[in-house]
């Protein structure tokens, strides 16, 4: 039987893609955390600016 494998998105090592690997598609918890950390860093940068949808709506109405 051949196991389905993919390359780990973080380190590119062949990774087993079945229920025996709780960290799939990553090869390990470490690689999963690294990837999530990078993703969270991107999100944090975007979310750093406070946004108030109601205020923005008022400004748009005043301009138009
Ligand atoms: Zn990995």
Residue-wise pLDDT for 19-48, tens only, equals 999 999 999 999 999 988 876 665 555 555
Ligand 1 center–CA 14 separation, angstroms: 8
Residue 16 has pLDDT above 80, yes or no: yes
User: In the chain, at which residue ranges do the beta strands (DSSP E only) sit?
Assistant: 5-7, 14-16
The pLDDT-based confidence of 9 (bands split at 50, 70, 90) is very high
Ligand 1 center–CA 48 separation, angstroms: 29
What is the pLDDT of the chain when averaged over all its residues?
78
> Which listed CATH number (3.90.1150.10, 3.40.50.460, 3.30.300.30, 3.30.50.10) goes with 5-63?
3.30.50.10
Ligand 1 center–CA 40 separation, angstroms: 18
Nearest-5° angle of CA 17, CA 22, CA 23?
A: 80
Ligand 1 center–CA 4 separation, angstroms: 16
Lowest mean pLDDT among 1-5, 7-11, 27-31, 37-41: 37-41
33 vs 38: CA distance, rounded Å: 9
Ligand 1 center–CA 39 separation, angstroms: 16
């Amino acid at each position: 039987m051949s196991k389905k494998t993919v390359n780990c998105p973080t380190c590119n090592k062949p990774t087993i893609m079945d229920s025996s690997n709780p960290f799939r598609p990553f090869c390990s918890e470490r690689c999963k955390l690294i990837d999530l950390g990078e993703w969270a860093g991107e999100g944090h940068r975007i979310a750093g600016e406070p946004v108030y949808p109601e205020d923005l709506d008022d400004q748009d109405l005043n301009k138009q």
